[in-house]
C-alpha cells in the first residue's frame, strides 16, 4: 500500500483530496504546512483556524496528521522573492514560486524523507506519466500556477480533484461529511488570507508620493508609491472625472506612474513578448509548431509561435513569443505559460 502525504491546508479542496485517496486505498497522512503566521495591522493571519480545520478533517478520516514548519524557508524563498520583485518595479507571482520552491520541492523532499512514497495536493490539475494536464474544470484550472514544477516532482505527486468540477468537489465534501464542506475558498495573497497585496507590501517597503502622468505628458494627480501599481490597473488611481485611466508604465527611479484614457494605447497591448527564466516540464517544445499561451490566470488562451533568442547576459536563453493577436496588460515579472492542447509545457517570466 503506497504511503501518500497530502498537503492539508484546511480548505475543502485538499480535504476532498485526502478523502478520495483514502477511498482509493492509499495509506494517507495529512500534513499542514505552516508557511506564514505573522499578523498584519487590521488582519489576523488565519493559520491557526486553518490548522484546526485540517486537523478536524484528519480525525474525521481516521488518518495520521502532522505539521511541517516551513516558515523560515517560505519567508526566504517566496516572500523575499516577491518583495524584491516589487522593489524592482515588476509584478512577481508568489503562488508560482510557492509551488516551485515549497509544495513541490521542500514539502516533497521532507515527505519522502519522512517515509512517504508520494505527495498529493488539492490543485485543479491532472498528472499523467510526468506530464501536467489541465483540469476537467477549465474555470478552476491551476496549471498556470504549476508550470515551474519539474517532471520528477510530478511523477511523485497526485492531484485527484483535477478530474472533477468544483461543484462536484463541494458535493463530495458533503457526501464525506467533511468539516470543511461549507468553508469558503480563500482570497487574497496565498499566505496571508484576506489581506491584499498593497496592504501587505506597505509593511515591508518604504514608498514616496509622486506624479501620475497621462498620455500627453500632463500631470493629473499624485500616487502614493510607484511600487504599488501594475500594468493595466484601473482602480485605486484616485484620478477623478471623465474617462477611466489605465496604468501603462512606471519609472521606479523617477517615481512616476504613466496612465492613459486610450483603451487602444499601444502600451496596453502587445503582439509579442520576451520570456526569461525559462522552465520546460518535459523538455523544450518544437519551435515549428503553433502553441497556446496564457499571460495571467484564467485569461483565454492565445495562439503563439515561439523563437529562442539570446538574452543580454552571455549564455542566457530567452524566448520570443509572437502572438496571433494582441494581448492586453502583459506585465513584467508575471508568468506566461505555454500549452499544447491540454498539456502544460512550461513557460517563463515576462521581461
Q: pLDDT of 310-323, one tens digit each?
A: 878 777 889 999 99
Instruction: Say whether 190 is catalytic.
Output: yes
With 70 as the cut, is the pLDDT of residue 193 above it? no
- How high is the mean pLDDT of the chain? 94
Residue 187: band (very low, low, confident or very high) from pLDDT cuts 50, 70, 90: low
With 70 as the cut, is the pLDDT of residue 230 above it? yes
**Residue in the structure block whose three cell numbers are 515527505:** 111
What's the rounded Cα separation, in Å, for the pair 333 and 91? 5
Beta bridge partners, 183, equal none
What's the rounded Cα separation, in Å, for the pair 211 and 233? 16
Predicted pLDDT of residue 189: 63
Q: Catalytic: which of 12, 98, 135, 189?
A: 98
| Mean pLDDT within 13-41 | 96
The answer to whether 207 and 224 are in contact (CB under 8 A) is: yes
Instruction: Return the closest-CA partner of residue 330 out of 247, 261, 216, 210.
Output: 247
Q: Which domains does the chain have, with CATH numbers?
A: 3-197 (3.40.50.620), 207-260 (2.30.30.280), 269-350 (2.40.30.10)
What's the rounded Cα separation, in Å, for the pair 341 and 163? 16
With 90 as the cut, is the pLDDT of residue 96 above it? yes
Residue 192: band (very low, low, confident or very high) from pLDDT cuts 50, 70, 90: low
Predicted pLDDT of residue 5: 99
With 90 as the cut, is the pLDDT of residue 331 above it? yes
Q: Catalytic: which of 190, 201, 273, 349?
A: 190
Amino acid at each position: 500500500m503506497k504511503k501518500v502525504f497530502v498537503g492539508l491546508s484546511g480548505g475543502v479542496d485538499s480535504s476532498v483530496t485526502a478523502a478520495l485517496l483514502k477511498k482509493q486505498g492509499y495509506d494517507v497522512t495529512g500534513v499542514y504546512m505552516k508557511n506564514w503566521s505573522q499578523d498584519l495591522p487590521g488582519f489576523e493571519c488565519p493559520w491557526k483556524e486553518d490548522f484546526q480545520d485540517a486537523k478536524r478533517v484528519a480525525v474525521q478520516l481516521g488518518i495520521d496528521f502532522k505539521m511541517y514548519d516551513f516558515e523560515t524557508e517560505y519567508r526566504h524563498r517566496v516572500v523575499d522573492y516577491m518583495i524584491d520583485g516589487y522593489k524592482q518595479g515588476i509584478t512577481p507571482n508568489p503562488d508560482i514560486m510557492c509551488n516551485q520552491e515549497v509544495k513541490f520541492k521542500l514539502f516533497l523532499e521532507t515527505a519522502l524523507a519522512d517515509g512517504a512514497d508520494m505527495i498529493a495536493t488539492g490543485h485543479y490539475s491532472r498528472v499523467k506519466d510526468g506530464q501536467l494536464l489541465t483540469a476537467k474544470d477549465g474555470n478552476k484550472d491551476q496549471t498556470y500556477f504549476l508550470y515551474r514544477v519539474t517532471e520528477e516532482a510530478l511523477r511523485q505527486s497526485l492531484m485527484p480533484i483535477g478530474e472533477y468540477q468544483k461543484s462536484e468537489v463541494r458535493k463530495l465534501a458533503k457526501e464525506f461529511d467533511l468539516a470543511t464542506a461549507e468553508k469558503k475558498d480563500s482570497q487574497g495573497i496565498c499566505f496571508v488570507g484576506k489581506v491584499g497585496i498593497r496592504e501587505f507590501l506597505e509593511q515591508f517597503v518604504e514608498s514616496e508620493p509622486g506624479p501620475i502622468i497621462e498620455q500627453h505628458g500632463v500631470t493629473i494627480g499624485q500616487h502614493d508609491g510607484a511600487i504599488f501599481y501594475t500594468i493595466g490597473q484601473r482602480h485605486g488611481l484616485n484620478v477623478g472625472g471623465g474617462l477611466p485611466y489605465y496604468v501603462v508604465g512606471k519609472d521606479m527611479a523617477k517615481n512616476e506612474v504613466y496612465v492613459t484614457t486610450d483603451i487602444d494605447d499601444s502600451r496596453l497591448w502587445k503582439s509579442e513578448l520576451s520570456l526569461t527564466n525559462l522552465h520546460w516540464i518535459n523538455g523544450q517544445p518544437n519551435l515549428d509548431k503553433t502553441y497556446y499561451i496564457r499571460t495571467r490566470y484564467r485569461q483565454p488562451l492565445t495562439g503563439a509561435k515561439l523563437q529562442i533568442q539570446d538574452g543580454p547576459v552571455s549564455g542566457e536563453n530567452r524566448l520570443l513569443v509572437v502572438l496571433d493577436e494582441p494581448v492586453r496588460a502583459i506585465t513584467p515579472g508575471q508568468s506566461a505559460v505555454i500549452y499544447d492542447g491540454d498539456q502544460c509545457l512550461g513557460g517563463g517570466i515576462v521581461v
